[in-house]
Amino acid sequence: MHLRKTPPENPTNTTLDALKTWVDQVAELTRPEDIHWCTGSDKEYRTLVSQMLADGTLKTLNETTYPNCYLHLSDPDDVARVEHLTFVCTADQQDAGPNNNWMPPADGHAKMNALFDGAMRGRTMYVIPYCMGPVDSPYSRCGIEITDSPYVVINMKIMTRMGEAALARIEREGKFVRGLHSTGELDPERRFIMHFPDELSIKSYGSGYGGNALLGKKCHALRIASYQARTEGWLAEHMLILGVESPEGETTYIACAFPSACGKTNLAMMVPPASQPGWKVWTLGDDIAWLHLDEDGQLRAINPESGYFGVVPGTNEKTNKNAYDMIQHDAIFTNVGQTADGEPWWEQKKTGTPVIDWQGRDYDPATAKAPAAHPNSRFTVSAKNNPSYSTLADAPEGVPISAIVFGGRRKEIAPLVYEAKDWKHGVLVGAGVASETTAAMVGNVGVVRRDPMAMKPFCGYNFADYWSHWLSFDERTDKLPKIFHVNWFRQDADGKFLWPGFGENLRVLRWIIDRCEGRIDARRTPIGYLPNAEDIDTSELDISDETMHALTTINRETWLEEIASIGEYLESYGDRLPADLKQEQQKVAEDLAKAS
C-alpha cells in the first residue's frame, strides 16, 4: 500500500482559521491518506454505505422487509461504553471529583497524542461538523468530530444535525467542541476516552462503538456540556423528554432521568393502552435533555440529538411498538443476529429464527448457550422514523417542562411514585437515585448502585459542585417544575413485578400531571408526597388493593436505612458537599426517626 509521508492537502474552504489550523494539526499528527469534509448530504451517506458494503464493514439486510437497513458487527471486545477507561482531565483533580477518573491535562494529551501518532495512515480522515440541537436554537451547541471511521460518520448523520448548516453556524460563532477519534487497533489495552472540559475538547482512541466513538452523544452532549452548562447557567442531563396529551388536547412536557437499562426509550415512545382512550404520548427525546431558563423563568428543554441509539433486545410490538415499527426501515443495526432470509434478529423479537449470531457465526437456537444478539446490540435510527415523533423536537425554543422525574430499578424500598416536597428536597431525591444492575451490564446482577440524577457515568465535573449548581436554580426563578421519583420495578417476595409497566406507566404520569395542575391531594410523609391509592387509575388492571397499598406506602425501617446510606454516600464528597443538601438529608432522617 502507498503511504503518505506528508499530510494530504486539506480541501476545506472554511472561513474559520482556527478550524482549518486544527484540522491541519490533526492531519500532521495522524497522517491520513485523504481528508473528507462531510456535507451531511444523503448522497454522501449513500456513498459511504456503498463503500462499507464493498469492504464488509456493513452488510445489507433483507431489502424487502427491512429496506435501507444495514448490519454492522463490531469487534467482540468493543461492544459497550468503557467507564474505567473514560477520564476527565482538569488542572485540579477536585474539579473532576470522586465521580470521575482523572488525569492532568498535559498527561492526558501526551498519552493520547502518542496513540494518535500516525494512527490514520492509509485511511481517510473525516471532518464532521455537527450541531447538538436545532441549528437555529440559541440553546444548541456545535462541535467538529474528526474520525477515521465511516461507520461513525453515518451514525453521526442520523444522531446529530450534521454537515453544511452546522459548519455555517460554527463559522458564525467561532466556538465549537473539538472531538478527535480513531478506531485504532481496537486493543482494549490501548483504548481511552479523554475529556478536556476547559478546552472544550475530547480525544477518543481504540473503540469504534457507540458512546465511545459517536462523540456528539455522551462525550459532548453530557460530559463536556454538563461542565459548560455549569458556567453558562443551564443543565445538560441524562433525561428523556416526552409530551403527554390529554383527551382535551392539553400537552404537558415531562423530563425523566433514569439510569441506563431502566427503559428510557420505552417510556419516551410509549403507546397508551386501550384503557386510556384519547391520551397520546409524543416523543421529544429518549436519552439527553438540555434545560435552560427562559427570560420568564420557565425551564425549557431541547433534545440535542436527532436520532436514537437504542438497545435492540427486548424490543417487540408489546414492549415498544413505536420503536419496533421505526426500525423496520432506514436503520443501522449493530451486533444483532440474522435469520436465514437476511432479517435482523434479537432476543424477544417474537418472530423469525436466528441462524447467525452477532459475531457472524452459525447459530442454532436448539443448542446455543448464548444469545444470538449481543445484549447491548443497538439500532441507530432517525427520530423522524418514530410514529410518536413530536415536531416540537425541532423547535428552537424547546418545550416548557412541568415535571422532572427521577427513577431507578429497585425491587424494594422505592414506592411506585412520590413527589418531592420542594426543589431543594427534589435535588436530594435526584442525588439519591440508585438502581440495580441488570444482565445487560458487566458484573453481578441485582447489585444496587448509586447513580445520582442518572449521571454517574456522564457528569463532567465533581458531583458536589453539580448538586450546588442544581440547587442554585431555586434562587433564579419561582417557576421551577415539580420533582418526582418513580419505580416501575417493585417486586413481591416471589420476584413478581407488582406494577405492569410499559404503556400502563401512563397512569402514573397522569397522577404526576394532576399534581402539577394542583388537581389532587397527596399524603405528606418524611420522604415526600405519596399518592392516595385511589388517585391512580387502575381501571381494567388486574391489581389488588393490597398491591396498590404496597406500591404507595413506605416502610419506615428500610427508609431509615436508605436515608442513612444516602447520607454516607453524600459525605463521601467531603467539604464540597453543599450544606443545603446535607440539611435536606438530615431533615428526612429526623422526620423518619420521629414518625410512628
Catalytic choice (89, 142, 262, 459): 262
Least CB distance to ligand O2Y at residue 327 (A): 14
For cell 458556567, what's the residue? 231
Residues 434-473, one symbol each (x = binds ligand O2Y by CB under 6 A, - = not), give ----------------------------------------
Beta bridge partners of 130: 143, 162
**Of 91-99, 118-126, 208-216, 380-388, which segment contacts ligand O2Y by CB under 6 A?**
208-216
Q: How many CB atoms lie within 10 A of CB 370?
A: 10
Within residues 230-259, the interface with ligand O2Y by CB under 6 A covers none
Closest CA to 430 of 392, 469, 398, 375: 469
Q: Which of 287, 305, 394, 436 binds ligand O2Y (CB under 6 A)?
A: 287
**Binding residues with Mn ion: total (CB under 5 A):** 1
Nearer to ligand O2Y (CB atom), residue 81 or residue 425:
81
For cell 503518505, what's the residue? 4
Closest CA to 201 of 457, 32, 22, 465: 22
**Of 281-289, 349-357, 418-426, 546-554, which segment contacts Mn ion by CB under 5 A?**
281-289
Least CB distance to Mn ion at residue 222 (A): 8
**Of 143-151, 204-212, 315-323, 519-527, which segment contacts ligand O2Y by CB under 6 A?**
204-212
Least CB distance to Mn ion at residue 283 (A): 15
Work out what residue 141 binds among ligand O2Y, Mn ion, none; the CB cut-off runs from 5 to 8 Å by kind. Answer: none
Work out what residue 184 binds among Mn ion, ligand O2Y, none; the CB cut-off runs from 5 to 8 Å by kind. Answer: none
Work out what residue 394 binds among ligand O2Y, Mn ion, none; the CB cut-off runs from 5 to 8 Å by kind. Answer: none
Least CB distance to ligand O2Y at residue 285 (A): 11
Q: Alpha helix (H) ranges present in 34-163?
A: 42-55, 93-96, 105-116, 150-159
* CB-based burial label for 232 (10 Å; 0-12, 13-18, 19+): exposed
Least CB distance to ligand O2Y at residue 309 (A): 4
Beta bridge partners of 200: none
Q: Which of 31, 72, 81, 469 binds ligand O2Y (CB under 6 A)?
A: 81
**Of 178-186, 205-213, 244-252, 331-339, which segment contacts ligand O2Y by CB under 6 A?**
205-213
Residues 285-324, one symbol each (x = binds Mn ion by CB under 5 A, - = not), give --x-------------------------------------
Active-site residue flag, 262: yes
Nearer to ligand O2Y (CB atom), residue 335 or residue 552:
335
Within residues 122-181, the interface with ligand O2Y by CB under 6 A covers none
Indicate the Cα dihedral angle 346, 347, 348, 351, nearest 10°. 50
**Of 284-292, 398-406, 440-448, 566-574, which segment contacts Mn ion by CB under 5 A?**
284-292
Nearer to ligand O2Y (CB atom), residue 44 or residue 287:
287
Q: Is 260 in the site for ligand O2Y (CB under 6 A)?
A: yes
Q: What angle do CA 439, 238, 289 make, to 5 degrees?
A: 145
**Of 67-75, 136-144, 157-165, 207-215, which segment contacts ligand O2Y by CB under 6 A?**
207-215
Least CB distance to ligand O2Y at residue 352 (A): 25
- What is the C-alpha to C-alpha distance for residues 386 and 40, in angstroms, rounded to an integer? 21
Task: Give the N- to C-terminal CA distance of the chain in Å, as an integer.
Answer: 78
Nearer to ligand O2Y (CB atom), residue 287 or residue 394:
287
The secondary structure element, H or E, covering residue 429 is helix 423-431
Asked if residue 102 lies in contact with residue 197, where contact means CB atoms within 8 angstroms, the answer is: no
Least CB distance to ligand O2Y at residue 287 (A): 4
Three-class DSSP category at 446: coil
Asked if residue 350 lies in contact with residue 343, where contact means CB atoms within 8 angstroms, the answer is: no
Least CB distance to ligand O2Y at residue 376 (A): 6
Q: Is 209 in the site for ligand O2Y (CB under 6 A)?
A: yes
Nearer to ligand O2Y (CB atom), residue 57 or residue 377:
377
The secondary structure element, H or E, covering residue 472 is helix 463-472
The secondary structure element, H or E, covering residue 203 is strand 201-205
**Crossing angle of helices 579-594 and 463-472, rounded to 10°:** 80
Work out what residue 209 binds among ligand O2Y, Mn ion, none; the CB cut-off runs from 5 to 8 Å by kind. Answer: ligand O2Y
Strands (E), 208-276: 235-237, 240-245, 251-257
Task: List all residues 6 or more positions away from 422 whose beta carbon is below 8 Å from its beta carbon.
Answer: none
Q: Which of 134, 211, 430, 481 binds ligand O2Y (CB under 6 A)?
A: 211
Asked if residue 183 lies in contact with residue 149, where contact means CB atoms within 8 angstroms, the answer is: yes
Least CB distance to ligand O2Y at residue 360 (A): 20
Nearer to ligand O2Y (CB atom), residue 105 or residue 460:
460
**Binding residues with ligand O2Y: total (CB under 6 A):** 9
Asked if residue 344 lies in contact with residue 338, where contact means CB atoms within 8 angstroms, the answer is: yes
Least CB distance to Mn ion at residue 22 (A): 29
Cβ-proximal residue to Mn ion, closest one: 287
Task: List all residues 6 or more positions away from 534 whose beta carbon is below 8 Å from its beta carbon.
Answer: none
Work out what residue 335 binds among Mn ion, ligand O2Y, none; the CB cut-off runs from 5 to 8 Å by kind. Answer: none
Strands (E), 228-382: 235-237, 240-245, 251-257, 280-285, 289-293, 299-302, 307-311, 331-334, 337-339, 344-345, 354-356, 378-382
- What is the C-alpha to C-alpha distance for residues 169 and 172, in angstroms, rounded to an integer? 5
Q: Is 307 in the site for ligand O2Y (CB under 6 A)?
A: no
Residue 24 in grid coordinates: 491541519
Give the side-chain half-sphere CA count within 13 A for 164: 5
Residues in touch with ligand O2Y (CB under 6 A): 80-81, 209-211, 218, 260, 287, 309
Residues in touch with Mn ion (CB under 5 A): 287
Provide the annotated active-site residues. 262
